[in-house]
Amino acid sequence: MRRHGVTPRVAMADLVQGSQMWMLCTDLALEFPRPTMPHVVYIGGILTQPAKPLPQEFEAWVNDTADHGFVVVSFGAGVKYLSDDITRKLAGALALLPQRVVWRFSGVPPSNLGNNTKLVDWMPQNDLLGHANTRAFLSHGGLNSIYEAMYHGVPVVGVPLFGDHYDTMTRVAAKGMGLMLHWKSMTEEELRAALNSVISDSRYRQQARLLSAIHKDQPGHPVSRAAYWIGYLLRHGGADHLRSSVYHVSTLQYFLLDVIAVVATVAALLVFALYRAVRWLKGSKGPVAVAAAASNSSGSSSGRGGVRDEDALTNGHCHSEAVVANGKHKRNGALRSEKKIN
């Protein structure tokens, strides 16, 4: 838009602030629990539906997979071509599986393609995932593909490539529905081991079926829920009553600057009062100590008959004559010779 000099009528920030309803393409079965406002509606799995009968060419191929089942491989319509390195790794790992493989693929077939792998330009992905012989789904982690796999209870091995793929596959792995591999570092052996794990380990299949049951256990389909809330907005002219008042408060209130100022002022006053109290306590102890010292000095003088003890100041030190040796003070020569200790 900047390149062509197009200026939108409404800024993106204003659109966000003025939104009456948020419809998130996520579902509680795959999402982590978090607090949301009433104007936030989950419509994840909006494209999911029961499996339909397969076309004839796919039906004949699927019927031959009764022994070991088959694996569905698709990286979505947005990823039409893969690099040669990734393609070879995928083909090599899939060729080692006992299951048959149907792979949506565009481009030049890899040289190490196995005899168990069928390449197609298009396939009925939802219907294949809903087939009873499906054992696993190898995907890039696209949101719609993952919801289709969850809807039909199929475990997933994900190789996220970009965008929200990483976020989606993180949730899949955290929920125990599958495994995630990184395309930059994965090897052919790691991919084969991951596929074997989700196929042979029943825990992934059980967890996928549990998430499928949770996703389906809701009052209506996500499409019906989205249609209801759109009609709700039209019937009531918006949904300001569902929005938080945070959209209307000032910056001072939003960041609680007034509360921070009050707390900081009270804390400063407490510190100042504590400082003054400590100063007062130290000052009150000073006269007492001086008075005690004066009393001791007076008692000592009276014990000597009121005469200053000159010998206690011998050699310039306030010590008794038995402690300080003669000639140790720098002003010793200023004293009379008869006062020096020999």
Q: How confident is the model at residue 29 (pLDDT cuts 50, 70, 90)?
A: very high
pLDDT for the residue 274 = 94
Percent of the chain residues past pLDDT 70, beyond the cut: 82
CA 45 to CA 27: how far, in whole Å? 7
pLDDT digits (tens, 9 = 90+) for 119-132: 999 999 999 999 99
pLDDT for the residue 305 = 47
Q: How confident is the model at residue 64 (pLDDT cuts 50, 70, 90)?
A: confident
pTM for the structure as a whole: 0.73
| Residues in Cβ contact with 71 at an 8 Å cutoff, skipping those fewer than 6 apart | 94, 97, 99, 100, 101, 102, 134, 135, 136, 137, 138, 195, 199
Architecture of domain 61-212: 3-Layer(aba) Sandwich (3.40)
More confident residue, 2 or 59: 59
Q: How confident is the model at residue 322 (pLDDT cuts 50, 70, 90)?
A: very low
Residue 321 pLDDT exceeds 80: no
- What's the mean pLDDT when you consider all of the chain? 84
CA 320 to CA 313: how far, in whole Å? 7
Q: Show me where the domains of the chain are located.
A: 1-44+218-248, 61-212, 257-339
Tell me how many degrees the CA angle 31-207-98 measures, rounded to the nearest 5.
125
- Across 180-206, average pLDDT: 93
- Across 202-225, average pLDDT: 94
